[in-house]
Structure 1
Amino acid sequence: MTKTIAELQREMAQAMDHEEYELAAKLRDQIAALTPGSMIRVQQPGQMGVGTDTQAVRPPKGWKPPPKPDLMTRNHKPRGGKR
């Protein structure tokens, strides 16, 4: 059975009166998902980054990482002064 937005709003008000804030937040999210033009969208499984709710970032097709620097010459500065 699909609940209407008005029913969900009544349940959310009751949950807030009984100080059940987690339930009220879940109901708020359900209301937002049912509201047309809402900015809240449910993420699709497999499209999320690891441990986040943002979309996974992928490099463009054909991209290759730059070559790694030579560890023997990295940050090498010539010594100053006379020997």
Structure 2
Amino acid sequence: MSLAAIERKIIALEGEMLAAVTREDFETAARLRDEIVRLKGGTAVRKPPPGEMGLGTQVPVVEPPKGWKRPKKPDLMTTVKGRKR
């Protein structure tokens, strides 16, 4: 397929994707988005490897900043709003 043909195909797919979004057919729009990205030569969605995932989530694990220390646990024998426990 020539570069001009690929550009025409991408423009057509973008129009279809916009129409799918206005119809609120988001699954079709996502499929068309992935096809557009594939034609442009990229990867649609980077899925992190299993070691980067948070347990039970789709969010990558974020490391704390360097030098960060866990705060001390509160003392249960301290006052609460001016009262002694």
Q: TM-score range by the shorter chain?
A: 0.3 to 0.5
Scaled by the length of structure 2, what TM-score is found?
0.44
Scaled by the length of structure 1, what TM-score is found?
0.45
Larger fraction in helix: 2
Larger radius of gyration between Structure 1 and Structure 2: 1
